[in-house]
Structure 1
Amino acid sequence: MSENNEPKRLSQRWALILSVAFGAGVLTFAVGGPLAGLGAVVAVTTLLHTVMA
């Protein structure tokens, strides 16, 4: 019996979403601080996940 213990790969869609969200969070963090940066990451992730679904 062969077991496949390789982790699942992240889809390209999620890689794109997380990359854009991280970039938006870094820019917002520089301007508005940590809470604004975190809010930007959550907002962009939610928006792109909804639009790209």
Structure 2
Amino acid sequence: MFHAVAKGTPYSWANRYCYTGMFCWWGSTTYRRANSPGAAVDTGWGLKFFE
């Protein structure tokens, strides 16, 4: 079981939803962010969730 905020929903603790399913490590994931210190783009590992 894990919890997350659905895509397109404003991120807040109150908007989280509990899911049941599986997950696995997912490589070569590109992360992008703006208006924060550090690199704007990075590649690494993440978790992929399946309901």
Q: Could you say which TM-score interval applies, normalised by the shorter chain?
A: under 0.3
Say which structure is richer in strand: 2
Question: Per residue, is there more helix in 1 or in 2?
Answer: 1
TM-score (norm 2): 0.20
| Structure number with larger C-alpha Rg | 1
